[in-house]
Amino acid sequence: MQTLAIALGALVLYLVAYHTYGKFLARRIFKLDPEARVPSVAMADGNDYVPTRKGVIFGHHFTSIAGTGPIVGPALAVIWGWVPALLWVLFGSILIGAVHDFGSLVVSIRNRGQTVGDIAGRVLSTRTRILFLSILALALTIVLAIFGLVIAAVFKLFPAAIIPCLIQIPIALLIGLYLHRRGVNLVLPSIISLGLMYLTVFFGNIGILGEANTWLASQSIMWWVVALLVYSYLASVLPVWTLLQPRDFINSLQLISSLGLIVLGLLIAGLAGGAPIGDGPRQSLEVVAPAFRSVPDAPWLFPFLFITIACGAVSGFHCLVSSGTSSKQIRSESDAQFVGYGSMLTEGFLATLVILACVAGIGLGVSEVMVEPATNKVVKTGNVVVGSEAYLNRYGSWSMAGGLPEKIGAFVEGAANFLTTLGLASSFAVAIMGVFVASFAATTLDTACRLQRYVIQELASTFLPHSLRPVPSGKNDERSSNARKPLWKPLVWLTNKHGATLFAIVIAGWLASMPGAPGKPAGTGGLILWPLFGATNQLLAGLAFLVIAFWLWRRSLPVWFIIPPTVVMLILPGIAMAIKVYEFFQNSQFLLAVLGMATIALQLWIILEARAAWPRAKGLVEDLSGSTETLPARE
């Protein structure tokens, strides 16, 4: 009953937080105005700025921010025990993560849908804008390079997930065209798309679909990286309503329905026990992990817990989604709480379920694994282990639990155990969870490509003369950015959506294709920069908090609620990055050490800029010529 109580308690806590703290922020701090003219309406262009109904934009936003982060991070962090991981997810998501996402969304809505990096140039300083955008570009380059490799790895782990993920693309195109032209109710298309996806999961290993999955899974990692980057290019340059929005929406239906199945299975397992193993009795559902644990080869709990669990508690990447794509599609300010604050709480609940799957679900029975001495690979023995033995078998050491297959595998096996209590076959349950993981990763990849396109365009326009800069405008504005420009100039070319997107995917593809060392296969080099991403991502959250704080301070609005999370998200990742830089030097990883030091230097520079500007900023509203804000109505 302890597992069930934790799940239900977390759900109630999130509902209460949404209707209390979330509503307080919406009404008293950000003063959302349903009558305000938002960027999606004021600058509607049918491509990036598209007014979108609340349910669709929630689906896009939730699937984009989630990715594999709320799965991989918590699935590894439970090695320190379940209590630290759970507390950070619950209170981090409510008091820090949801505030970060919600604040980034609102500030961007009132600044023409620009990214927080672009807005930093007005609320802090011009230098800060360039520094901030540079950090964003670095972080997104790593995401694009790595997530292609991650999705390819997931497809190889769970071949039955390939066709269900690919089938979402034509379904999304059809639904996007249908909804855009007719504006019909979403109920029927939702039911049809959800049914088609689950049918492809069910028949994924049968007949021609099984053969197709097998063939696709046999392709090389780089084959998949190229294919996924080509898809990302198309998703980035096409109007959001044709592919990005509908794919994320139908993806969210599949993901939320899977969450519902996990909760239902957890409920039955908590009351009646897990599915029997063979002819044995039903297994009792219990938390089989220790509350707190010290692991000799693991990093320190403090500060690395707060870096290991990013998505699910707070993640800097989310400010890019909030201020990059979602702010351009919100059709009413009143939707911002549901999309920004609500999506983060939903992700926090997902992370809670991941923790429970890894500390209780696997206790219902998993295949025993061991490390082969000759190859140092983790292999299954064919035996089934249950209870605390199952937990220790997966989390015996940091090196054993730290690989991508091990982290994802612990969640998939634990969650599949919940599903089997519903009478689903084990293979079908594992396939559903495989699609669950792969779908999250894919939606993050295509959104990240579009975000990188925005960042590159904003950076390129910074160094252009004013006469050559594109002018954000609506489709009926005579100053449209489609006016003739000398495209033979590289910086002008990079302000074009096609040029910026091509630049983004070429750089990401080159990074992903690098061999890690002589004799290593292509793709292993792309993983070199991954140790930097955790701390860089969390530092980005701290910098986004700085932008939100300055925006509030300049309007003489309360900042007491945002100062503590700002300090936390600047100090903890900074300490973690400093420790990592020291380790990089010890291990002769000089490239990582230099990049880590550069990141710390950029962060300190921005903090010094903020420190100098803070005393004179209160009540001094920045130039509003680049915003959609109507200040007198809010003051």
DSSP per position, 550-613? HHHHHTT---TTTHHHHHHHHHHHHHHHHHHHHHHHHTT-HHHHHHHHHHHHHHHHHHHHHHHH
Q: What are the helix (H) ranges across 183-243?
A: 187-202, 207-217, 221-237
Give mean pLDDT, residues 305-316: 93
The predicted structure's pLDDT at residue 631: 47
Mean pLDDT of the chain: 86
- Residue 477 banded pLDDT, cuts 50, 70, 90: very low
- Say what the pLDDT of residue 485 is: 55
How large a percentage of the chain has pLDDT more than 90? 45
**Cβ neighbours, 10 Å, residue 187:** 8
Amino acid at 251: N
User: CA-based angle 562:568:571, to the nearest 5?
Assistant: 135
Mean pLDDT of the region 29-35:
95
Q: Where are the alpha helices (DSSP H) in 338-386?
A: 342-359
Amino acid at 546: L
Residues paired with 259 in a beta bridge = none
Per-residue model confidence as pLDDT tens digits over 506-538 = 998 888 887 655 556 665 656 677 778 888 899
Helix (H, G, I), strand (E, B) or coil at 531: helix
Q: What is the pLDDT of residue 368?
A: 85
Average pLDDT over residues 540-558: 94
Q: What is the pLDDT of residue 382?
A: 75
Tell me which DSSP letter residue 94 carries: I
CA distance 490 to 83: 52
- Sorting pLDDT into bands at 50, 70 and 90, what band is 472? low
pLDDT band (50, 70, 90) for residue 182? low
Rounded to an integer, the average pLDDT of 553-557 is 94
> What pLDDT, on a 0 to 100 scale, did the predictor assign at position 184?
61
Q: Where are the domains of the chain?
A: 2-465+485-516
Q: What is the CA radius of gyration of the chain?
A: 24
Q: What is the rounded average pLDDT of the residues 463-480?
A: 55
Q: Are 386 and 359 in contact (CB under 8 A)?
A: no
pLDDT at 437 over 80: yes
Task: Report pLDDT for 525.
Answer: 58
Give per-residue pLDDT as tens, 481-491.
444 555 556 77
Q: φ and ψ at 600, to 5 degrees?
A: -60, -40
Per-residue pLDDT, 626? 61
Beta-carbon count within 10 A of 615 CB: 7
The whole-number pLDDT of residue 634 equals 41
